[in-house]
Amino acid sequence: MQALIINGSARGSRGVTQRLAQALGQGLQDGGATTEQVLLKDLEIAPCLACLSCMHKHPGRCAQRDGMDEIYPRLQQADLLVLGAPVYTDNMPAKLKAVIDRCICAMLPFWEEGEAGRMRHPLAWPLPAQFVLLSVAGFPEPVTFEPLIATFRAQAYNFRSTPLAEFCIPGAIALQFEPAALEGHLAWLRQAGREIAQEGRPNPVTAARINRPPLSKDRCRELNLRYEDWCRKQQAKAGSKQGRAGFGRE
């Protein structure tokens, strides 16, 4: 199995998404898969121009030349695509959405009805057959992930991929103040990676463990108070430099 892990966090290797991606990637490798990781932070990726020359002029080929030229060949070779998609304004980061939009060049102009009874395009070249969502969110409630999960499932349908798992871990701001609280989840993610590589999908028990929030809502609120305090201090510093008071609760 060849896995491609795309991390859409603007913080790249400094983010919580990357801790999760490393653990899942390690597990995939333990299970015998080959993995490649792409940090979108390091690539220039323009939005789709909607020129649609990929549909009417050069099937399968995007007209723009940028960081997508590193991603297209990897997508063509991968059996499994892991979307590392931290929640940004209730969905995936814009740069990751641009990657998905730019995959329109894998689609031919024709329509056909898929198994969900909805139209979709036949493919000019194969996209990864399997799809995994790996996400974190600042807020503590699992419901935060619902719009992203809906988008992820719709994309899997468009890509003709099987959505294998949605691993969604809330409370990411609090977790940065208490990083050890993620250790158990990292071990389960590693196990899920092994299971995907060896058995084709994660065990439902492993997936349920990963999706159990590592910190309670009350603990997240407590830890977020530390973040608020830190922000107030930064605001006060910035305010004194700029000759104006910081904003926020005093």
Query: Residue 42 gets which letter from DSSP?
Result: G
Q: How far apart are the first and last CA of the chain?
A: 54
Checking DSSP bridges between strand 119-120 and strand 112-113, what pairing results, if any? Answer: antiparallel
- Considering the rule CB under 6 A, would residue 221 count as an interface residue with ligand FMN? no
In whole angstroms, the minimum distance from the beta carbon of 60 to ligand FMN comes to: 32
Cβ atoms 29, 1 nearer than 8 A? no
**Smallest distance from the beta carbon of 25 to ligand FMN, in angstroms?**
15
Which one among 83, 106, 127, 144 touches ligand FMN, defined by CB under 6 A? 144
Between helices 183-199 and 16-30, what is the axis angle to 10°?
A: 40
- Which residue from 138, 193, 202, 214 is in contact with ligand FMN, where contact means CB under 6 A? 138
What Cα–Cα distance (Å) separates residue 226 from each residue in 87, 101, 220? Answer: 21, 38, 10
Contact between 137 and ligand FMN per CB under 6 A? yes
Mask 163-202, x = binds ligand FMN (CB under 6 A)?
---------xx-----------------------------
Cα Rg of the chain, angstroms:
20
- Nearest approach in angstroms of CB 90 to ligand FMN is 5
| Span from 56-64, 133-141, 159-167, 242-250 in contact with ligand FMN (CB under 6 A) | 133-141
Q: CA–CA separation, 182 vs 186, rounded Å? A: 6
Q: Which residues are registered as beta bridge partners of 34?
A: 2
Residues 29-88 that bind ligand FMN (CB under 6 A): 86-88
Query: Is the Cβ of residue 15 or residue 202 nearer to ligand FMN in the bound state?
Result: 15
Residue located via tokens 């940065």: 176
Q: Which is nearer to ligand FMN, 95 or 160 (CB)?
A: 95
CB of 102 to ligand FMN, least distance (A): 21
Element (H, E) at 130: strand 130-137
230/220 Cα distance (integer angstroms): 15
With binding defined as CB under 6 A, does residue 25 bind ligand FMN?
no
**Any residues with CB less than 8 A from the CB of 120 and at least 6 apart, and which?**
111, 112, 113, 114, 157, 158, 160
Q: Is 143 in the site for ligand FMN (CB under 6 A)?
A: no
Contact characters 77-116, ligand FMN, x per CB under 6 A: ---------xxxxx--------------------------
Could you list the residues that contact ligand FMN (CB under 6 A)?
9, 11, 15-17, 86-90, 136-139, 144, 172-173
